[in-house]
């Protein structure tokens, strides 16, 4: 009997045979006797014990709940013909729900009421079930219509609704993980004050698998932790239960309700419906999502592999192709279903007939299809596109289908073709290689030769048949056999070896062989075979020995050379120096490494040195110069220094190799020669210089005589005396300038060249010679550049050059005037400059130099003057002075006479 039958039984006096309107026995229900005013006179019937105690004759309203008391206001006569729903105050605070009628009885009234509590509870339960069904339907609908991306969010919202509806503190949905076949929390919701049993993504293992046969499990009786101990890991010590959801494959989901108090109550069927409302659409959507993902992965995989399926349609003679395959074949606009012949047009003609034949065998004989074909691209310059075509028969009889796939194997096929070509080239290379390639098999601890390339015969005149383990040892040179045995031991121990030894050929000659070998092992580490090569390095070995001997000879040559040889870096730090250099610097050769050449150079010399080697290039790697060194405790030293740059592959200077010799004595001799020539020039200028000094002396003597006369006559005026004394002072200063310039000109030159204005040398020259020249009737014409420029050298030496040129011009002019008294001699000095050079021209009108003598004019001791008049060193020394300053002294015959040109580089370009 169902609960509804029991309810109706109670309503009908517990008899299912009676009709609803059959009056109950007097003792059934509740009988209340009332007076005319509605006071209770007596109560009897089966429901009497359920009422609360009351005083004598209370009003009926006092026995009722507040809302029922309001409903029965008035007197009993007013209640006739009404159905009264009265809620009596029951014992222990309970409420007794009744429905009754009132009728006249004797002088009063009788109220007959029956218990309708079960009827009301059933109605509430039915309403609750209807609400539950509506909510479950709404939950399912929400999960079905939401997007896949919002599915987790929507499910969490539905769990929140379930938790609020049934007052469940913590609720979760567990799904079966397809990867490890365990259970995982897909989504969960917990009230803010509820214990957190689970978190999303939590794996709870396989503890729920043993509960698959249970409908709803409670941790209280009859399914407690003692009977199901695995649930302790799910709920801990809290109350809760699980509701399964089953599909065609068994339990697919669990609804977990934690810390549930049991109110409101629901049937097991309602819980199952609720779990199904959540799990069924969720699983359906997840399977749909997995299906879409599988399709996307399949399509992506087909695109990456260049593959796709096809199916032959025999009834129509057509072929159905996967869309991705059509895209891979380059026929995106073509239909996926097309005639077989149309599809075969895509195949290269060389493979088309074979593929067509195999397709017929597949259809008629059921023979599996396997072929490799090329596409008909039409571009011979591009590598062919290869496809593997494979097919088989599915089903039998009328249900047969012919399906297959095409896979792009262009990379594999082209690599195979390239490998075959490379293998052929390798075979040809091995056969024609000058190296001997060999293979030795490892047998019982020994390496036995099993293969030699064809180049063995040209090298040693032997064949593989003649080569054995023992014979190989006998061919090795007796002095190298220990190396050969050591080579074998090292190969077995370390797995690779590189050695060099001599082997005798068939004619008795020995060859130096470079042996490189590698040992191959199996997966257990046991040696299998050795692969190596012999390379004939006889010529290289002999050449290396010759180079070694040559290096020794060169080392001796370098060490014993009288020249100073060294190597240094771009920063002038010495890397190597030979013994002569060390002896010159008064140290040992080992102490030279790390010293810096710049420490012995002045700042200007160092700057010029660095600038000079900085201009070295791979095309012009050599530079030669004379350098001046300041050695501690010694006078200046001059070296003639030649540098050669060594460059890397990028053209950067790596180091400098230098060879030098001591030029100090030569330089001092040159200085002495220059000084001697200077003194000779002063000697030759003695007459003119005497005139330069006598002129002021004569002026002073005449001024003094005149002053003395005036003093003797007593006519000494102050203005007259002042004028005479000032004239004497001017002549004294004139003579002092001449003497000072002679003293400056006569002293030794500075050690290092200095920048100066060449106009200074011109002015100094004229200060010494102009008066003497004018005294001899020679006109001096001077033309100088307006803008001052500077050259680098020695101002006194340039002045010496100009003096030599002007003195030679003077002598030539005076000699010409003796032969031609009408000659008006003149000497012109003209200066000019451009962006790189300064030029000083010295020209006369003496008729020029014999062209036959022009080539010898600068030779030492060559002179055209009479014997005893000239030394023949003036022009030679002048030529050396100008050349030492980086310039050039040249001569030519002009329109009027000889033209000498002193050309010097400007200081910015020196």
Query: Is residue 811 scored above 90 in pLDDT?
Result: no
The better pLDDT of the pair 293, 681 is held by 293
What is the arithmetic mean of pLDDT over 2-12?
37
What is the pLDDT confidence band of residue 11, given thresholds at 50, 70 and 90? Answer: very low
Q: How many residues does the chain have?
A: 910
What pLDDT is attached to residue 486?
92
What pLDDT is attached to residue 10?
36
Residue 792's Cβ-side half-sphere holds a number of Cα atoms within 13 Å equal to 15
What pLDDT is attached to residue 517?
92
What pLDDT is attached to residue 60?
82
What is the arithmetic mean of pLDDT over 591-617?
85
Give percent above pLDDT 70 in the chain.
80
pLDDT in tens, 193-203: 777 778 887 88
What is the pLDDT confidence band of residue 16, given thresholds at 50, 70 and 90? Answer: very low
Pairing relation of β-strands 826-833 and 779-783?
parallel
What is the pLDDT confidence band of residue 470, given thresholds at 50, 70 and 90? Answer: confident
| Angle, in degrees to the nearest 10, between helices 686-713 and 664-684 | 40
What is the arithmetic mean of pLDDT over 801-806?
86
- Nearest-angstrom CA–CA distance, 569 and 654: 7
What is the pLDDT confidence band of residue 498, given thresholds at 50, 70 and 90? Answer: very high
What pLDDT is attached to residue 222?
28
What pLDDT is attached to residue 19?
36
Enumerate the H helices of 434-480 as residue ranges: 456-460, 469-475
What is the arithmetic mean of pLDDT over 446-461?
86
177, 183 Cβ separation under 8 angstroms: yes
Nearest by Cα to 651 from 612, 620, 623: 620
- Nearest-angstrom CA–CA distance, 413 and 862: 91
pLDDT in tens, 841-897: 999 988 888 887 777 787 766 566 654 455 556 777 788 888 888 899 998 888 888
What is the arithmetic mean of pLDDT over 389-413?
86
DSSP label at 600? G
Nearest by Cα to 843 from 774, 890, 776, 800: 890
Query: Is residue 903 scored above 90 in pLDDT?
Result: yes
- Nearest-angstrom CA–CA distance, 348 and 353: 9
What pLDDT is attached to residue 736?
62
- Name the 3-class secondary structure at 321: strand
- Nearest-angstrom CA–CA distance, 744 and 701: 28
What pLDDT is attached to residue 482?
92
Sign of CA pseudo-dihedral 601, 605, 608, 609: negative
762, 780 Cβ separation under 8 angstroms: no
Query: Is residue 216 scored above 80 in pLDDT?
Result: no
| Angle, in degrees to the nearest 10, between helices 718-746 and 664-684 | 150
The better pLDDT of the pair 638, 845 is held by 845
User: Which residues share a beta bridge with 313?
Assistant: 318
Query: What's the longest Cα–Cα distance across the chain?
Result: 201
What is the arithmetic mean of pLDDT over 616-637?
79
Two structure tokens written together for 337 = 């279903």
pLDDT in tens, 137-190: 777 887 888 887 888 888 888 888 888 877 888 888 888 877 667 788 888 888
Two structure tokens written together for 50 = 């359920």
Cis link prior to 529 (omega < 30° from 0)? no
What pLDDT is attached to residue 219?
37
Query: Is residue 9 scored above 60 in pLDDT?
Result: no
What pLDDT is attached to residue 27?
57
Least confident of 215-219, 271-275, 354-358: 215-219
What is the arithmetic mean of pLDDT over 601-610?
84
Task: Compute the 3-state secondary structure of the chain and give helix, strand, coil in percent, each to the nearest 5.
Answer: 45, 25, 30
SS3 track for 764-829: HHHHHHHHHHHHCCCEEEEECCCCCCCEEECHHHHHHHHHHHHHHHHHHHHHHHHHCCCCCCEEEE
Q: Which residues contact 874 (CB under 8 A, 6 or more apart)?
A: 677, 680, 681, 804, 807, 808
What is the arithmetic mean of pLDDT over 229-245?
67
592, 585 Cβ separation under 8 angstroms: yes
What is the pLDDT confidence band of residue 14, given thresholds at 50, 70 and 90? Answer: very low
- Nearest-angstrom CA–CA distance, 770 and 766: 5
- Nearest-angstrom CA–CA distance, 875 and 808: 9
Domains and CATH numbers, the chain: 3-115 (3.30.450.20), 140-293 (3.30.450.40), 306-377+384-416 (3.30.450.20), 433-543 (3.30.450.20), 561-662 (3.30.450.20), 671-909 (3.30.565.10)
What pLDDT is attached to residue 793?
83
The better pLDDT of the pair 214, 822 is held by 822
What pLDDT is attached to residue 588?
84
Burial 248-263 (b: 16+ CB within 10 A, else e): eeebbbbbbbbbbeee
Nearest by Cα to 878 from 893, 862, 894: 862
Enumerate the H helices of 565-650 as residue ranges: 579-584, 603-614
Nearest by Cα to 263 from 195, 165, 161, 127: 165
Q: Which residues contact 196 (CB under 8 A, 6 or more apart)?
A: 170, 190
The better pLDDT of the pair 387, 212 is held by 387
DSSP label at 62? G
Nearest by Cα to 830 from 760, 900, 885: 900
Query: Is residue 910 scored above 50 in pLDDT?
Result: no
DSSP labels, 326-348: HHHTT-TTS-SEEEHHHHHTTB-
pLDDT in tens, 521-578: 988 889 999 999 888 888 888 887 777 777 667 677 677 777 888 889 988 899 888 8
DSSP labels, 144-163: HHS-STTHHHHHHHHHHHHH
pLDDT in tens, 62-99: 888 877 766 777 888 888 888 888 888 887 778 888 88
What pLDDT is attached to residue 23?
47
Q: Name the CA dihedral angle for 319, 324, 327, 333, rounded to a multiple of 10 degrees.
A: 60
What pLDDT is attached to residue 860?
66
What pLDDT is attached to residue 751?
47
Query: Is residue 739 scored above 70 in pLDDT?
Result: no
What pLDDT is attached to residue 20?
37
Nearest by Cα to 242 from 255, 260, 261, 227: 255
What pLDDT is attached to residue 872?
58
Q: What is the pTM of this model?
A: 0.37
Query: Is residue 634 scored above 70 in pLDDT?
Result: no
456, 436 Cβ separation under 8 angstroms: yes
What pLDDT is attached to residue 233?
56
In whole numbers, what is the pLDDT of the chain averaged over residues? 78
The better pLDDT of the pair 451, 222 is held by 451
* Count of other CB atoms within 10 angstroms of residue 288: 12
């Amino acid at each position: 009997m169902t609960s509804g039958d029991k309810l109706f039984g109670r309503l009908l006096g517990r008899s299912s045979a009676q009709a609803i309107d059959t009056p109950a026995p007097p003792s059934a229900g509740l009988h209340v006797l009332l007076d005319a005013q509605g006071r209770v006179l007596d109560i009897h019937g089966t429901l009497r014990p359920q009422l609360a105690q009351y005083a004598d004759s209370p009003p009926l309203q006092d026995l009722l709940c507040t809302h029922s008391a309001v409903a029965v206001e008035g007197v009993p006569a007013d209640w006739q013909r009404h159905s009264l729903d009265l809620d009596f105050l029951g014992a222990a605070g309970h409420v007794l729900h009744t429905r009754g009628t009132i009728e006249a009885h004797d002088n009063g009234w009788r109220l007959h009421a029956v218990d309708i509590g079960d009827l009301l509870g059933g109605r509430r339960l039915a309403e609750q079930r209807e609400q539950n069904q509506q909510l479950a339907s709404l939950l399912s609908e929400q999960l079905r219509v939401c997007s896949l991306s919002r599915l987790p969010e929507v499910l969490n919202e539905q769990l929140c609704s379930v938790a609020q509806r049934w007052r469940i503190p913590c609720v979760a949905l567990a799904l079966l993980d397809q990867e490890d076949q365990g259970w995982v929390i897909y989504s969960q919701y917990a009230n803010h004050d509820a214990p957190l049993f689970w978190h999303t993504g939590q794996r709870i293992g396989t503890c729920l698998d043993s509960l698959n046969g249970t409908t709803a499990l409670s941790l209280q009786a009859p399914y407690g932790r003692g009977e199901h101990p695995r649930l302790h890991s799910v709920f801990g010590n809290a109350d809760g239960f699980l509701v399964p959801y089953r599909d065609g494959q068994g339990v697919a989901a669990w609804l977990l309700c934690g810390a549930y108090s049991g109110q409101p109550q629901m049937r097991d069927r309602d819980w199952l419906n609720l779990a199904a409302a959540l799990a069924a659409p969720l699983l359906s959507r997840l399977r749909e999502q997995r299906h879409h993902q599988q399709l996307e992965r399949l399509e992506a995989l087909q695109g990456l592999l260049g593959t796709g399926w096809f199916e032959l349609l025999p009834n129509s003679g057509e072929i159905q192709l996967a869309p991705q395959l059509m895209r891979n074949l380059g026929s995106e606009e073509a239909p996926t279903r097309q005639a077989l012949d149309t599809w075969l047009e895509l195949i290269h003609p060389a493979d088309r007939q074979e593929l067509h034949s195999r397709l017929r065998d597949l259809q008629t004989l059921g023979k599996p299809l396997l072929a490799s074909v090329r596409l008909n691209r039409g571009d011979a310059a591009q590598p062919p596109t290869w496809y593997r075509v494979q097919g088989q028969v599915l089903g039998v009889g009328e249900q047969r289908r012919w399906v297959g796939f095409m896979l792009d194997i262009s990379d594999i096929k082209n690599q195979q073709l390239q490998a075959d070509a490379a293998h052929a080239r390798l075979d040809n290379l091995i056969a024609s290689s000058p190296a001997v390639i060999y293979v030795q098999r490892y047998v019982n601890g020994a390496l036995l030769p099993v293969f030699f390339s064809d180049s063995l015969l040209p090298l040693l005149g032997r064949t593989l048949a003649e080569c054995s383990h023992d014979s190989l040892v006998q061919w090795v040179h007796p002095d190298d056999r220990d190396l050969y045995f050591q080579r074998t031991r090292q190969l077995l121990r370390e797995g690779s070896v590189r050695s060099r030894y001599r082997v005798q050929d068939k004619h008795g000659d020995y060859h130096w062989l470079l042996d490189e070998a590698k040992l191959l092992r199996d997966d257990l580490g046991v040696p299998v075979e050795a692969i190596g090569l012999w390379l004939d390095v006889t010529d290289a070995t002999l050449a290396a020995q010759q180079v070694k001997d040559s290096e020794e000879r060169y080392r001796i040559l370098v060490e014993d050379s009288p020249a100073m040889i060294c190597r240094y870096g771009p920063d002038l730090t010495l890397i190597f120096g030979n013994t002569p250099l060390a002896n010159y610097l008064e140290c040992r050769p080992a102490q030279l490494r790390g010293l810096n050449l710049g420490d012995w150079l002045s700042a200007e010399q160092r700057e010029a040195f660095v600038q000079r080697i900085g201009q070295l290039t791979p095309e012009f790697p050599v530079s030669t110069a004379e350098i001046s060194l300041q050695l501690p405790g010694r006078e200046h030293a001059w070296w003639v220094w030649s540098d050669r740059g060594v460059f890397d592959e990028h053209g950067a200077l790596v180091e400098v190799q230098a060879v030098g010799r001591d030029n100090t004595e030569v330089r001092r001799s040159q200085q002495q020669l220059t000084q001697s020539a200077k003194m000779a020039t002063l000697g030759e200028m003695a007459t003119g210089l005497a005139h330069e000094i006598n002129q002021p002396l004569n002026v002073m003597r005449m001024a003094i005589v005149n002053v003395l006369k005036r003093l003797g006559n007593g006519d000494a005026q102050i203005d007259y005396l002042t004028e005479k004394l000032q004239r004497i002072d001017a002549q004294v200063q004139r003579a002092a300038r001449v003497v000072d310039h002679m003293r400056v000109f006569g002293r030794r030159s500075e050690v290092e060249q200095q920048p100066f204005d060449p106009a200074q040398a011109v002015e100094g020259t004229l200060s010494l010679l102009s008066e003497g020249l004018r005294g001899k009737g020679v006109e001096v014409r001077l033309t100088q550049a307006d803008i001052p420029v500077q050259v680098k050298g020695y101002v006194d030496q340039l002045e010496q050059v100009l003096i030599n040129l002007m003195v030679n011009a003077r002598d030539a002019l005076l000699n010409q005037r003796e032969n031609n008294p009408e000659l008006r001699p003149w000497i012109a000095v003209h200066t000019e400059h451009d962006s790189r050079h300064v030029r000083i021209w010295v020209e006369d009108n003496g008729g020029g130099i014999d062209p036959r003598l022009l080539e010898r004019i600068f030779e030492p001791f060559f002179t055209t003057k009479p014997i005893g008049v000239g030394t023949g060193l003036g022009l030679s020394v002048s030529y050396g002075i100008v050349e030492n300053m980086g310039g050039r002294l040249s001569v030519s015959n002009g329109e009027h006479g000889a033209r000498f040109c002193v050309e010097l580089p400007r200081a910015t370009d020196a």
